[in-house]
A = this chain, B = another copy of it.
Amino acid sequence: MDVIRAPSSSGEASAVDGCDAVGFESRLLRKSETIGTEAHALMERLYPLCRSLTGDGVRETLQLLKEIIPLKIHEVRTGTRAYDWVVPNEWNVRDAYVLDGRGQRVIDFRVSNLHVAGYSAPVDEKMSRTKLLEHLFSEPDHPDWVPYRHFYYKDGWGFCVSHRQLSELKEPEYRVRIDAQLDPGSLTYGELFLPGREPGEILISTHTCHPSLCNDNLSGVVTTAMLAREIADSPKRFGVRFLFVPATLGPIVWLSRNEQIVPHIRGGLVVAGVGDPGPFTYIQSRRGATQIDRAVAHVFKHATSTPAAIRDFAPVGYDQRQYCSPGFDLPMGCLMRTPNGEYPEYHTSADNLQFVTAAALGDSWRLMRLVLEILEENRTFLNLSPKGEPRLGPRGLFAEAQPLGIFWILSFSDGHHNLLDIAERAQMPFWRLREGARRLEECGLITEVNTRVVEQNV
């Protein structure tokens, strides 16, 4: 039992290039600053596009992402059934405006795509001010902000305006035009699968259906894209799948078309609203205490400077609702900063390029990267010298034993504790213990065990 073995799999590269443990953290911190800036620049290009549940704005968004990641773009035809749902008509707007008596555009889609409520039916008529007002949405509490509204799964049309704009509409009659198409077409989503060495995959999903709103959810789109780019070329243990889908219907459509993949999903994240400067919030998976829940809690504890909040699952909020629905019950949680609906800028024109910062995007990316590191590298080892402590001095491990948690790894590598279990008990960062495990594996003191047999946390 206490035979000294030669290093085995330790030569394999991990998802992270290089790996001295302490350096890993500071290198990642530096890299996150660069990436935050790149992510914000990407967001500036995506911002003007008129996204919705379907339509060309989504296609253009995904095409732009294809410049940096090899996304596969899927089109799902109108009328396709997906469980209790049906893919609706596709919606596109060419132009939309309200003209006053002098032919001036007093409401103009070209100024902001938020001005037209999503899925508005085409309109082309003169109408009284009174009738027009029935179709206008404004937010009196924030008179300069334009709200975001839509007519998903119901008939209707509307314009969204600032309350100031609304109060200036004093003429008796207006010319109203929404040059929109609402016809059979398709729902568009993007997918990127990066394969791993071992069976099983990790799912990162983000929604693409909101128009010119930055935090909700260009922040999720750009950080997810940056994460995919970062790890695209490095060897991975488990596959990683990235989905860029419209909210609610997107996951339902994807799940209905990929049921055979569901059993292989080891866990993952819905990423949404990660660009505002607020502290992090994580919504646990329905099951709670799954590996993804513990990984996020671990990263929050060891890698955030401001207090981060963890909330229990609730069947509200973003797309974790679909992935966690009882027919799937996937171990997926939702990473946000300030939760949806809890910041005043939410679903208004104030959720803009200034509201979202490069620093927040970069830091969100860093946390996603650390969570992924845990999901990828949470291995289970067996101490090959389990009776008493082995001597570390002769193996050159004495000096780094403490910072790399080497005694903890030796003590708990009994085949029943994975590295995250040990990191939690030791109250040490996972990535330090991962490096400690690498050293111990190199000198033959531990060996990886078949996690398929022993793991219980996924």
Q: Which residues of A contact B (CB under 8 A)?
A: 1-2, 82-85, 153-154, 248, 251-252, 255-256, 286, 312, 314-316, 321-322, 324-329, 383, 385-391, 393, 407-408, 410-414, 425-426
A388-B83 in contact (CB<8A): yes
21 contacts between A and B (CB under 8 A): A1-B327, A83-B388, A83-B390, A84-B389, A84-B390, A84-B391, A85-B391, A154-B393, A252-B389, A256-B387, A286-B411, A312-B425, A314-B408, A316-B407, A322-B388, A325-B387, A325-B389, A326-B383, A326-B386, A327-B383, A327-B388
A1-B327, A327-B1, A413-B326 known; A255 and B407 CB under 8 Å? no
Q: Which residues of B contact A413 (CB under 8 A)?
A: 326
B255-A325 in contact (CB<8A): no
Q: Which residues of B contact A426 (CB under 8 A)?
A: 314
Per DSSP, chain A at the interface is loop
A1-B327, A84-B2, A414-B329 known; A315 and B388 CB under 8 Å? no
Q: Which residues of B contact A154 (CB under 8 A)?
A: 393
A2-B84, A315-B408, A391-B85 known; A327 and B286 CB under 8 Å? no
Most chain B CB inside 10 Å of its own CB: which residue of A315, A329, A388, A412? A388
Q: Which residues of B contact A425 (CB under 8 A)?
A: 312
A393-B153, A407-B315 known; A388 and B82 CB under 8 Å? yes
A251-B84 in contact (CB<8A): no
CB-contact partner of A252 in B251, B315, B388, B411, under 8 A:
B388
A2-B84, A83-B2, A84-B2 known; A326 and B388 CB under 8 Å? no
Tell me how far the C-beta of A328 lies from the nearest C-beta in chain B, rounded to whole angstroms. Answer: 6
Tell me how far the C-beta of A50 lies from the nearest C-beta in chain B, rounded to whole angstroms. Answer: 25
B329-A391 in contact (CB<8A): no
CB-contact partner of A325 in B82, B251, B388, under 8 A:
B388
A412–B392 alpha-carbon span in the complex (Å): 49
Q: Which residues of B contact A315 (CB under 8 A)?
A: 389, 407-408, 410-411
Tell me how far the C-beta of A380 lies from the nearest C-beta in chain B, rounded to whole angstroms. Answer: 13
B327-A387 in contact (CB<8A): yes
Q: Which residues of B contact A408 (CB under 8 A)?
A: 314-315
A324-B411, A414-B329 known; A388 and B251 CB under 8 Å? yes
A316–B427 alpha-carbon span in the complex (Å): 14
Tell me how far the C-beta of A401 lies from the nearest C-beta in chain B, rounded to whole angstroms. Answer: 10
Q: Which residues of B contact A412 (CB under 8 A)?
A: 286, 326
Sorted nearest first, the 4 A-B pairs with minimum C-beta distance are: A327-B386, A327-B387, A315-B407, A315-B411
Q: Which residues of B contact A316 (CB under 8 A)?
A: 407
Tell me how far the C-beta of A29 lies from the nearest C-beta in chain B, rounded to whole angstroms. Answer: 28
A153-B393, A252-B388 known; A411 and B84 CB under 8 Å? no
A387–B387 alpha-carbon span in the complex (Å): 49
A251-B388, A252-B388, A393-B153 known; A325 and B411 CB under 8 Å? yes
- Apart from A84-B385, A251-B388, what are 10 other A-B pairs with CB-CB below 8 Å? A83-B388, A84-B390, A252-B388, A286-B411, A315-B389, A315-B407, A325-B410, A326-B411, A326-B414, A327-B383
Residue of B with least CB distance to A86: B391
